[in-house]
Structure 1
């Protein structure tokens, strides 16, 4: 039976759908990641507008025969326009969205809470934008159940030394000691980088973002986490393909 439903959600992606419409990819609390058609969105002034990064309560019409969701109305909680008006902030936000789509988000309620918090922090703390990015990947690995233990090698179970440089196992997709590492992996985790990740692992997102990093350490950790994000997402992310986020 056709029915009206609603859910908190965030627009992850938007694309043309026919001459007048748009198809949205929505991360919703109640239905996970779904496609939603916004009819007339490209032309009609009366049509509901749902921009990428918009966070709000989405009112949908579900057709079980076509298995299609249609956008009927939207109560915007935050449009994140400030992010869309800045190129680098847009890239960072779209990187978050692409990670969600590539990994299917994990638990939908927790995924929504994580992305909503990440976008809010990105908008309110522009000077800590790279820390927000680092912590988003860190939090995503936990959400997906893939966060490494940065204190013990997962292969030989030996505790790391205080000043030990940690290598990486491509087969496990995890940091490990140099004796258990893959020869083809370029990922190296320096002692200071590892201490930062251990320190922030149990902090709330907003508290972890405020942990101070000097510029050099921040750049190294960001580069590491972006490469780790590629592994989490299967090896390719469009938002990382031009290197802009790496160099920013």
Structure 2
């Protein structure tokens, strides 16, 4: 592998490393999720800055002996600094990064594109934050191969009725009919929510945000997908520990 490499990437996490340095966790198009040390990042105003949510072309040095990366330079495409101005926006962006870290399945280029779009939309249209959360989780589930079939039960293959409320299969991590639902599953998908998710399944991120959705429906679908996100990650998410993202339109 070349020692000097570069890749489009987004900073998922940044933490202090020693007195003057920072350790970054990047979602990179070319190398997946990698740890990168930024030496002297805390030293001066002239040092290389790459805060959490920063999107850009990262220039790295790879040490084949230690198998680690060092940040040499970065050409920032978007800082997404605006997301640090409001607590709910910050937590939304942190949720996206946490989900990528906990579910990363190797689709680095597609995950990068999804995260980059979601962060851009949070900046450009913060009033649609709840719908952006919905679509990020919805589209991430598709990348992970976990998106459910909204037309028929994946277990018994019976077509759903138009007004049928769906249960959930913990074995498949997917919605199913009530007869096939797991006894310990508490997720219920209402008909209107199912129609919205089915409709937007084939849409781009931008198109899905233009689909009309009432505040009550938005809140209901968001709560469903936040609970779903915790199931597919196998445990509690730090960003959902409090009530910051649990509220929303119509809540």
- What interval of TM-score do these two structures reach, taking the shorter chain for normalisation? over 0.9
Q: Output the aligned Cα RMSD.
A: 1.1
Quick check: 1:187 aligned with 2:179?
no
Quick check: 1:38 aligned with 2:48?
no
Distance 2:152 2:133 in 1: 25
Deviation at 1:2, TM superposition (A): 6.6
Residue number in structure 2 paired with 1:174: 174
TM-score (norm 1): 0.97
How many pairs align? 248
Distance 1:210 1:95 in 2: 22
SS of the residue corresponding to residue 26 of structure 1 reads strand
Distance 1:62 1:44 in 2: 24
Distance 2:156 2:104 in 1: 31
Quick check: 1:14 aligned with 2:11?
no
Distance 2:152 2:106 in 1: 25
- For the 8 Å contact 1:60–1:72, the answer to whether it is kept is yes
Distance 1:131 1:152 in 2: 25
Quick check: 1:162 aligned with 2:195?
no
- For the 8 Å contact 1:105–1:111, the answer to whether it is kept is no
CA shift digits 1:143-178 (9 cap, x unpaired): 111111111101100000000000111122111100
Quick check: 1:57 aligned with 2:57?
yes
Q: Superposed, which structure 2 residues align to 1:8-157 within 5 Å?
A: 8-157=8-157
TM-score (norm 2): 0.96
Go from structure 1 to structure 2 and tell me whether the alpha carbon gap of 1:106 and 1:213 turns closer, same or farther (over 3 Å shift). farther
SS of the residue corresponding to residue 133 of structure 2 reads helix
Distance 2:174 2:145 in 1: 12
Deviation at 1:236, TM superposition (A): 1.9
